[in-house]
Amino acid sequence: MKVHVLSLGPIQTNCYIIERDTSLLIVDPGAEFEKISTLINQLNKKVEAILLTHTHFDHIGAVDELAAALDVKVYVADEEKYWLSDPEANGSEKFKSYGLEEVVVRTKPEILHPGRKTLGSFEFDIMHTPGHSPGSLTFIFEDFAVVGDTLFKEGIGRTDLKEGNLQTLMTSIDALMTLPEETVIYPGHGPKTTLAYESDHNPFL
């Protein structure tokens, strides 16, 4: 598998396009539909689904346009299925004072549950990793994991937004640390890292 990274929108949120031989998965299309669409057209493979690690506004801004253009389903944790259409819950209302627009996603999502999932030619594990938000999910593939805003290179996710909780977040990070230490971590913002590196260098751990 190949992982393509696009850092999008005013907060430079990472959108991931995961590529197999014949198909793609999109994770967290936060903004800039045109850039995402251009890359998908260049790769010229079937998009199986849109996955959301969580539903904060900077991770969901291009969902409606992509879902409509590609005719694919959107998958999210049950805890946040209503946050997509609620600017107060997804945080976009709070940031209006910074000049950002409210985000309302109207696509009806499918629900993801922890455990093994198959979508087209992709098989992966889903881990519930709350703390940054109540429905935060981690998607675990062969040798890498897409973790949203749970863990960053030398950092951790913020817990001052709706239903965030630091103790819960640290419990989720402890669960991530049980994965093989060579697992590559793709976070919601910033560069990729590994669990081995974070174990040795992350001041929060």
pLDDT tens figures, 144-163 = 999 999 999 999 999 999 99
Closest CA to 179 of 139, 123, 149, 152: 139
Distance CA 154, CA 152 (A): 6
Backbone angles phi, psi at 126, to 5 degrees: -115, 125
pLDDT at 27 (0 to 100): 98
pLDDT at 138 (0 to 100): 98
Q: Which of 52-66, 88-102, 114-128, 174-188 has the lowest mean pLDDT?
A: 88-102
pLDDT at 96 (0 to 100): 79
Exposed/middle/buried for 142, CB within 10 Å: 0-12, 13-18, 19+? exposed
Distance CA 87, CA 94 (A): 8
Q: Are 94 and 11 in contact (CB under 8 A)?
A: no
Residues linked to residue 151 through DSSP beta bridges, in sequence order: 156
Distance CA 2, CA 189 (A): 19
Tell how strand 144-148 and strand 137-140 pair up: antiparallel
pLDDT at 98 (0 to 100): 76
Backbone angles phi, psi at 38, to 5 degrees: -60, -45
pLDDT at 99 (0 to 100): 76
Distance CA 124, CA 73 (A): 17
pLDDT at 101 (0 to 100): 86
Q: Is 46 helix (H, G, I), strand (E, B) or coil?
A: strand
Task: Give the global pTM.
Answer: 0.96
Closest CA to 29 of 41, 14, 39, 40: 14
Give per-residue pLDDT as tens, 2-29. Answer: 999 999 999 999 999 999 999 999 999 9
Residues linked to residue 56 through DSSP beta bridges, in sequence order: none
**How large is the average pLDDT for residues 120-135?**
97
Closest CA to 132 of 94, 172, 95, 104: 172
Tell how strand 193-194 and strand 184-187 pair up: antiparallel
Q: Is 189 helix (H, G, I), strand (E, B) or coil?
A: coil
Show the tokens assigned to 118.
Answer: 């198959």
**Average pLDDT over all residues of the chain:** 96
Going by the DSSP 8-state scheme, the letter that residue 80 receives in this structure is G
Q: Are 5 and 15 in contact (CB under 8 A)?
A: yes
